[in-house]
């Protein structure tokens, strides 16, 4: 009855690149604690409680995260993975240590965050400085990518769908080369005795779904916590864009309304995976140009959990997957981990929703 897989950000540890770009010892905790209230009633900053401002180089932290997740109904972590081409990686250490130590003994899969990293320049043109460009160098690089991750693919903890390795591609339409990438990996999987991949590409509100599937993906995941935005009149959408991007006024949607659009009938097909979010507030990263969901509450998140389970219940058991966005995206105000405001209540809402649905 439903498999809940939570996106996991491996960012919270210093790296040489972040030292260079943002200052010595930088992690996203800096942005989190410095977040400001942007309007009356705005809740910021969001502060972690029992796990604290952790460093993901610590095995004990990673183990505690998995224990909490398992206790409350999360079935596995989907670690964001960064491969920029020509062998260049970032933020790989936490997952590498999960892999080599065998701890925590908790299911996992990988999500390729195939996008460039950029720094916004606060000039009148709103330009960006590319810090690390996402490249698609060709088949030899795709092979190198595959063999670098092969130990993970062979690990008994790796999450599968019908004996196929569950692998997420953040932007499956980023380059025509994605099709070649997928074909190459499918061939290599068979050659290395790991059967095949179950490729899942990101979409929003099922837009361009058929195009994504034509690239070679097996399914899409509907990663858009603002599906409510798509239901708005065009003039309202334009107004929101102008106020956010020109006048630097945050775009605010009520969480209580957004949950009506978070999971929809479009998630019923076997090749569509619903995404649920307990909260969202991007302002630690984007300041007054943020988009956010206001006044999220655990009891409302529970309703989304139950709704998602109802949407997937008629799919084959292997395909009854629900993605949680996210386990620990603190810089996006998007996390399941305990905080000072609600403690474990969002985790309890997940568990309670699962139990309530199962009893009906």
Q: What is the mean pLDDT of the chain?
A: 94
**pLDDT over 50 at 234, yes or no:** yes
Q: CA–CA distance from 20 to each of 23, 130, 330, 353, 360 (Å)?
A: 6, 14, 22, 44, 54
**pLDDT over 90 at 37, yes or no:** yes
pLDDT tens digits for range 174-204: 999 999 999 999 999 999 999 999 999 999 7
Pairwise CA distance, residues 229 & 236, whole Å: 9
Pairwise CA distance, residues 259 & 298, whole Å: 12
- pLDDT value for 122: 41
pLDDT tens digits for range 287-302: 998 999 999 999 999 9
Q: Which residue has the higher pLDDT, 311 or 120?
A: 311
pLDDT, average across residues 274-299? 95
Lowest mean pLDDT among 91-105, 174-188, 247-261, 328-342: 247-261
- pLDDT value for 110: 98
Pairwise CA distance, residues 282 & 184, whole Å: 36
- pLDDT value for 127: 66
pLDDT tens digits for range 84-143: 999 999 999 999 999 999 999 999 999 999 999 988 644 345 567 899 999 999 999 999
Q: Do residues 312 and 320 lie in contact, with contact meaning Cβ atoms separated by under 8 Å?
A: yes
Q: Which residue has the higher pLDDT, 351 or 248?
A: 351
pLDDT, average across residues 247-263? 92
Q: Do residues 3 and 306 lie in contact, with contact meaning Cβ atoms separated by under 8 Å?
A: no
- pLDDT value for 273: 96
Whole-number percent of the chain with pLDDT over 70: 98
Name the band, by pLDDT with cuts 50, 70 and 90, for residue 254: very high
Say how many residues make up the chain.
360
pLDDT, average across residues 24-35? 96
């Amino acid at each position: 009855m439903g498999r809940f897989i939570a996106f996991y950000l491996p960012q919270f540890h210093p790296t040489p690149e972040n030292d260079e770009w943002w200052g010595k010892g930088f992690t996203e905790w800096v942005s989190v604690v410095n977040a400001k209230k942007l309007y009356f009633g705005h809740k910021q900053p969001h502060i972690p409680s029992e796990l604290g401002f952790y460093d993901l180089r610590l095995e004990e932290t990673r183990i505690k995260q998995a224990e909490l997740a398992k206790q409350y109904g999360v079935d596995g972590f989907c670690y964001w993975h960064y491969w920029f081409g020509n062998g260049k990686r970032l933020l790989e250490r936490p997952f590498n240590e999960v892999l080599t130590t065998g701890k925590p003994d908790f299911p996992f899969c990988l999500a390729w965050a195939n996008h460039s990293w950029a720094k916004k320049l606060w000039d009148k043109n709103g330009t960006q400085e590319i810090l690390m460009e996402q490249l698609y160098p060709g088949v030899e690089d795709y092979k190198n990518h595959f063999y670098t991750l092969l130990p993970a693919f062979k690990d008994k903890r790796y999450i599968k769908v019908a004996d196929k390795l569950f692998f997420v591609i953040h932007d499956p339409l980023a380059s025509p080369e994605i099709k070649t990438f997928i074909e190459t990996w499918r061939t290599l999987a068979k050659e290395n005795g790991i059967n095949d991949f179950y490729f899942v590409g990101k979409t929003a509100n099922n837009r361009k779904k058929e195009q994504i599937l034509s690239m070679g993906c097996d399914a899409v995941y509907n990663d858009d916590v603002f599906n409510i935005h798509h239901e708005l009149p065009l003039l309202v959408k334009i107004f929101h864009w102008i106020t956010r991007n020109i006048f630097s006024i945050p775009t605010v949607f009520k969480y209580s309304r957004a949950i009506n659009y978070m999971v929809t009938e479009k998630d019923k097909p076997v090749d569509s995976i619903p995404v649920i979010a307990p909260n969202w507030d991007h302002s630690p990263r984007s300041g007054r140009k943020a988009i956010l969901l206001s006044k999220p509450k655990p009891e409302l998140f529970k309703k989304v959990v139950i709704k998602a389970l109802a949407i997937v219940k008629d799919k084959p058991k292997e395909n009854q997957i629900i993605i949680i966005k996210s386990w620990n995206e603190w810089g996006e105000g998007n996390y399941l981990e305990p905080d000072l405001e609600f403690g474990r209540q969002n985790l309890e809402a997940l568990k309670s929703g699962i139990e309530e649905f199962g009893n009906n």
